[in-house]
Copies of this chain bind each other. A is one copy, B any other.
Amino acid sequence: MTRGTEELTQHYSRQFNEELEAIRTRLLEMGGLVERQLKRSLRALVKGNSELGEQVVHDDYQVNRLEVSIDEECSRVIALRQPTASDLRFVMAVIKSITDLERIGDEAEKIGFLSSRLATQERPENRYKEIKHLGRQVREMLRDTLDALARLDAEAALRIAQEDSNVDDEYEAIMRQSITVMMEDPRSIRRVLDTLWAARALERIGDHAVNICEHVVYMAHGMDIRHVSVEQVAAEAGVDL
């Protein structure tokens, strides 16, 4: 290789790395935005703050805008740089993760909408306690997921995916209790259903976080763990859960 070619190659590869780095930064920016949307939607619900709920609904366009722009950037990198192996895996995992982040944004928007509708109704003290609890669990799960994504930590990602069953159990408990409340006081049905929709949105956010964790594992190991039990993957990867 002549000195000129070598410099060109280095220049090219530095530029490519910078592009990948820029994608990673934007991905984490999108994650941070979605985290904030979720946090605000939950506060709106618990505090009965309809204005804040409407704001969350309004701000969802920012999440969508980021998704489209990162998606375009990824397609551009694939077309121009023709990445292979782990670089390609990274870009593919980003393309899939932003779809899940966007859907988490949609669920936060839904909670925002529900909170402004619920704000006009009487607030039941015990019900929101459960939503608060589930909300805390899911927010923690999302934060851990974004951390695992930032550090490409497949081991952490596997652990988070496994913890999702706690969220599912919590949701099922809320569901059972809601049915009891509605049966005892049919006038509460409308309100209880709205609260149940919010709980369901949280449960779905947990599912999307699991999807992102799966993308992290794929990014790190090139292993497709969708539709395979977490325990099985951990065993194969030699991870002690």
Binding site for B on A (CB under 8 A): 61, 64-65, 67-68, 71-72, 75, 78-79, 82, 84-85, 88-89, 92, 95-96, 99, 179, 182-183, 186-187, 189-190, 193, 224, 226-227
- For the complex, would chain A's binding face be called helix, strand, loop or mixed by DSSP majority? helix
**A84: min CB distance to chain B, Å:** 5
* Number of copies of this kind of chain in the complex: 2
When distances are taken between beta carbons in the complex, the residues of chain B under 8 Å from A79 are 84-85, 88
**Residue on B with the closest CB to A88?**
B79
Among the listed B72, B75, B186, which residue makes an inter-chain contact with A182, where contact means beta carbons less than 8 Å apart?
B186
Alpha-carbon distance A217/B183, docked complex (angstroms): 47
Alpha-carbon distance A68/B228, docked complex (angstroms): 11
Alpha-carbon distance A179/B196, docked complex (angstroms): 13
When distances are taken between beta carbons in the complex, the residues of chain B under 8 Å from A193 are 179
Alpha-carbon distance A221/B197, docked complex (angstroms): 37
10 pairs, A vs B, C-beta closer than 8 Å? A65-B227, A68-B224, A68-B227, A75-B88, A75-B92, A92-B95, A179-B193, A182-B189, A183-B186, A189-B189
**Residue on B with the closest CB to A89?**
B75
The 6 tightest CB contacts between A and B, nearest first, are A64-B227, A82-B82, A183-B186, A186-B186, A79-B84, A182-B189
Alpha-carbon distance A72/B92, docked complex (angstroms): 11
When distances are taken between beta carbons in the complex, the residues of chain B under 8 Å from A85 are 79
Alpha-carbon distance A61/B229, docked complex (angstroms): 13
